[in-house]
Amino acid sequence: MNRTALCIKMLQILNAHDFVTKKELAERLETNPRNIAEFKKELEVAGYMIETTKGRYGGYRLLDKASLPMIRLSEDEKQAMNDAYSFLKNHQDFLSMDRYRQAFEKIKSSLVFSHNQSEVVYRGRNHALEKNIQKMIRLCEQAKKESCAISFDYRSLRADTYKKVELCPYEVLNIHGSYYCLGYCPQKHDFRTYKFSNIRMKEMKILKKHFTRDLDFDVNAYLGKSGLMKDEPIEVEFLIHGENAVLYAEAEMGVNPMMSFDADRILHVKTLFEGKLNAMQFLCSLGSSCVILSPVGLRAEMQEEIRKMAQNYL
């Protein structure tokens, strides 16, 4: 792709987003990060005003959104839009499905689609979000847009009673089908994550307290690579036998797993789990088809857990 095309594509990306980091721009444009600053200069010469944010998570923001001509979509891109629509339609926990459907129909009505539906059959989560949870998520999103704090009663997994929580909402997260709010908690003087749940959370309301968002905030600093938990990593080596060996040879276990599958249908796995609890839950789900090789401490804890499980059935 030549320099002019890269500049135009960079303008399209900036126009479609509020803020984009230099790293993300370089990845999207498949170019060296050093070139991004040069593309910015050329766009400014052409009359576009671009704000620069410096620092580790620095990037660019297009100050005056431009009215750009509609770019023709390839047939593959049109098919991808159909696939996305079909995928989301079969996941009833997707909060913005109604708004997405309306937007998709508007785009589709202005283009010529050779395919009317996805060529892939999707089956997703069968249960939709409960109305009360949707209401709490909407309140949280509204507070985030207006930079207002929220309050709610919350009961953690290990607690017997509810406690009043005040939170400055930064992000609404969907991790493995569940929704969470990540925000700054003045009571704890730190960022905390709370799950939207009819059992854990109630009495949410928007407060008349405004907050200023930290410009250096990076959501990835508070998330694990494989899910919500960002805990002390633990390297585990284990064997999986039988049918589960075949099934999990096709799956992603932990972070950056190394796997080898031998002729005796035994899968040898060495991987990182984000936290001991995460590792124990996964390994227990494998049942008798799994044998832990290391670490020795985790193997001993698993033996104790199996002993307690056996007592429940004796």
> What is the average pLDDT score of the chain?
86
Query: What pLDDT, on a 0 to 100 scale, did the predictor assign at position 1?
Result: 67
Q: Name the range with the highest mean pLDDT among 68-82, 134-148, 176-190, 241-255.
A: 134-148
Query: What pLDDT, on a 0 to 100 scale, did the predictor assign at position 129?
Result: 82
Domains of the chain (ranges; CATH) run 3-62 (1.10.10.10), 72-128 (no CATH), 131-222 (2.30.30), 233-311 (no CATH)
Q: For 122-169, how does the pLDDT look when each residue is reduced to its tens digit (9 = 90+)?
A: 776 667 788 999 999 999 999 999 999 999 999 988 888 999 999 999
Query: What pLDDT, on a 0 to 100 scale, did the predictor assign at position 143?
Result: 96
Q: For 231-253, how does the pLDDT look when each residue is reduced to its tens digit (9 = 90+)?
A: 678 899 999 998 899 888 888 88
Lowest mean pLDDT, pick from 34-48, 223-237, 245-259: 223-237
Q: Name the range with the highest mean pLDDT among 19-33, 84-98, 109-123.
A: 19-33
**Pairs from 209-213 (Cβ < 8 Å, separation ≥ 24):** 209/148, 209/149, 209/166, 210/146, 210/147, 210/148, 210/149, 211/147, 211/148, 211/149, 211/168, 211/184, 212/147, 213/147, 213/168, 213/170
Query: What pLDDT, on a 0 to 100 scale, did the predictor assign at position 66?
Result: 65
Q: How far is CA 256 from CA 251, 279, 290, in A?
A: 12, 14, 19
Query: Between 116 and 291, where is the model more confident?
Result: 291
Report whether pLDDT(194) > 80. yes
pTM of the model: 0.64
